[in-house]
Chains A and B, each alone.
Chain A
């Protein structure tokens, strides 16, 4: 967040609406390119938060300047956080006296350029979180959007746009998928609710859950981060383990995906890269692989995912149908749907196995953060010796 030393941001994937992504030319960027926001009046290298919707991206600098690029354009000052979705844009703005009491949450219609009146506005100051009596008060107060400060409500792209959360949940982080929600609480437990037809809730069934339900399969594990894709879910444990569950139609769970094998898109033909990653060769199952793992379309409960070379995860983010993970050693691995270059490997192939984004290794940059839009990926990286 704001207290980290500034690094450089990169982007790759879909930019068909001219959203900030490298050169911004063309419809997609296949390899990481330095972020360049068209018409950026100020230096944006110290980005505080970044939120990408399908057709536009909202960037908030640590100085509080909000920049929109893509199908929505505009800029505003005095912003602390922003949340971008196709149907709703939410901005957490400082009050008239600067940061602190008086902060306001504003929701804007997608077409509005931050001028005029927002759709609605409500106070969202730290006084709401002051009633927490445990030491984790600062965590609940700083919950990033779509979790509202105070963690008593969250945003939603569909009406009702602001939904209450039971305070007893002590929500720390919230991630929203196309039809489900993941919640990480103060004790490191994960809860999920919403639609479940693709196994994205992780309770072992395909049934929907109307209210937050604890993921029993993860009990005993202290989770540090959760991420939600369109129909899949990822969590990172405090020890660096990754768990995935949900829909695997494009390999976004890094499990064998039938669709990729039929299109000839497995990694079987790329021996050198695989050796570096430490992953074994595995093409479409042949007659000798009688015991080969079958294709998995849906994984209804969490499965442990091993990154190549036993790397530990530090952070994860999901796009609509792809997944990106940052390791403790500063590497970026991506897998899943790659048609718009959102995996950053320089092509448009989809992958059902984790692959390291070589660009950062080549440039000797340490990746420190990742944030995915539905069809693109934004990455923060620093030179080693800093951060």
Chain B
């Protein structure tokens, strides 16, 4: 039989015959090379080697069937025939192979080094494991969802690829209570992660580390010490609703609910909101939303669709001073601002509406005043946005005053209960009531500018 050719009958024995009658052929065609592997042995069997090392292997034929010699034998590595200059006949029944500067294994199950008879049939095989010992795992980070469990993630050592199967084991123990535990649920949030579902103690720190082992050695990460209470995260706030604020073109109102899982625990929640225009990838973040469950976004573009997300940080659990871990962002909620009724480009977050050149220096001074107020007044809710709000209202009310029978814009504040203190000096706060909901709009008036009407037209 010429080298490399296979018995056609054997081929049909391998392949499921497409027609029934061919089943008969299966009986006639005996698989080739049936007793081959019994008749040769490769040494070393399944060695483990460092990348760059050399290997000297031998294929010894046992002389069954008699007359078998090392003549005509050849090597393949991962299915590829090796150049003959790497092989050498040592004696009548042994063929040697010299490989130098080995690369990392092609697959983690080991490189397939095979010794073939002259006709191509397999006589023996050996799996070569060529790689590197594991590096110290790094960047262990853990979090507890609602204080019920602990999930940890880590990164394998700097170079990553060891070419060998590396087993990672996450271990943990309570600091003063001796016994090592091993995490059992792996790959929960990615390939290098583990989840400890229960039996977690509070108020005592845990020591956590990761051990990496492969055929060439092992490595252990640094120990991370943490207290469950310091790494608590929660689900994202549910029921996020975004809605328009009456007819205001540049504002949207966001409302959400505090995550229910932590309601029994004493903690304060911090929230963060982020929003972006539909076609953009740039998120704007609103950071200082502390413990409220609603917020008003202002300075938006009219007639635009916005996507909004909220996330929560449970800090101060059981009086801990540390911040918790931010939850995932809630599912994006979309809403659109009303279309602008005035032609021309929509304003940016802080641009003045319409052209009022005399407002330049006024705005600057107002900005400075508000900055001062924020630092010195207890009510820090006054902001430039509030001024914009008022201006928007003013412009609208100008329009309505010029038309007969139009109603005042229905404006609402996100937080209803905040009182405005009596402002010093030049400004006075004027209270305007809008009917229907009983909400209030706080406006500012200044001498020299259009006064806020004291007797608003009923809506």
Q: Judge: A and B partners, yes or no.
A: no
